[in-house]
Amino acid sequence: MKYIFEALNWASSFLEENRREKYAAELLLMNQLEMGRAHFLANLRMELTEHQIAQFKESIHKHAEGIPIQYIIGFEDFYGRRFYVNEEVLIPRPETEELVEGILKRIPALFGNKEIPKVTDIGTGSGAIAITLALENAKCEVTAIDIAPASIEVAKRNATVLGAEVNFIHGDLLQPLLCDPSVRMDIIVSNPPYIPDEEIATLSTVVKDHEPMRALAGGKDGLDFYRRLAEQIPQILNAPGLVAFEIGAGQGESVKDLMERSLPDAKVEIVYDINGKDRFVFAEQ
């Protein structure tokens, strides 16, 4: 193994043997060499140093063992920005970009000329949702809450690097805000843990053995966090106000019912993602 194309051939075969996607080889080597895709493909006959080969082999072995590519390279792209990630936070998914887009589209119609819509992101993780909302709509005053101090540190790092003004709070769901009766929010967004406990064992090892379990398991039916939020939200949501949830496929009707009982005057809708799965619930009051 001497040239880029030889390293890719070896890595692709090795990953396939270990039931991993072979495209990971290209992503890992491009990142290691700090090359864009066009430059990378134009230099497949470039000679690699022994150190580069050893480093690449180490990354390939890590991914073969199940470590997600994003944790190996240290980032994931979300809404056109690069977010630092590690094993303390869930890796941002493309579907969550649709959640953010849904919120941004609803703000003008719901809040009109309101000077500063106050937004809270519950279970912020890497901060992808909170930071993106703050950067995409400068009018928003964004607060992000997470129960894990280690996750908050990751989110703070991303906010600093990306230049986003977000207020980060350590706490359990909305509890830190409910302590002050004067605090009200216009928008509450969350992508909480929603995988039913019995389904955790069926997940890919890349997910269940490496991404934080606190960001995955949602109780017996996956709805524990939605139930708790449904109880808390009426105490803090303004009218007009918006609630935006990401949900697991097949949970739409259940979460819609929870929100209709929580906010009887709200218009609640299930929205399907680009793959045709019920993926979001929006409630406007």
Instruction: Please give the pLDDT value at position 219.
Output: 87
Instruction: Please give the pLDDT value at position 262.
Output: 97
Range of weakest confidence among 107-111, 168-172, 255-259: 107-111
Instruction: Please give the pLDDT value at position 59.
Output: 96
Q: Does 234 carry a binding-site annotation?
A: no
CA trace torsion 145, 146, 151, 154 (10° rounding): 0
Instruction: Please give the pLDDT value at position 217.
Output: 81
Q: Does domain 89-284 have CATH number 3.40.50.300?
A: no
Looking at every residue in the chain, the average pLDDT score rounds to 94
Range of weakest confidence among 101-115, 199-213, 247-261: 199-213
Q: Does 43 carry a binding-site annotation?
A: no
Instruction: Please give the pLDDT value at position 216.
Output: 82
Higher-confidence position of 43 and 115: 43
Write the pLDDT tens digit of every residue in 205-224. 888 888 788 888 888 898 99
When pLDDT is cut at 50, 70 and 90, the band that residue 274 belongs to is: very high
Q: Does 80 carry a binding-site annotation?
A: no
Instruction: Please give the pLDDT value at position 49.
Output: 95
Read off the pLDDT of each residue in 244-267 and give the average, rounded to a whole number: 96
Read off the pLDDT of each residue in 224-248 and give the average, rounded to a whole number: 96
Instruction: Please give the pLDDT value at position 154.
Output: 98
Is 69 within 8 Å of 86 (Cβ atoms)? Answer: no
Q: Does 192 carry a binding-site annotation?
A: yes
Instruction: Please give the pLDDT value at position 212.
Output: 84
Residue appearing with tokens 């105490």: 235
Instruction: Please give the pLDDT value at position 22.
Output: 87
Instruction: Please give the pLDDT value at position 202.
Output: 86
Q: Does 123 carry a binding-site annotation?
A: yes
Q: Does 126 carry a binding-site annotation?
A: yes
Q: Which residues of 41-69 are buried (b: 16+ CB within 10 A; e: fewer)?
A: eeeeeeebeeebeebbeebbeebbebbbb
Q: Does 264 carry a binding-site annotation?
A: no
Read off the pLDDT of each residue in 130-136 and give the average, rounded to a whole number: 98
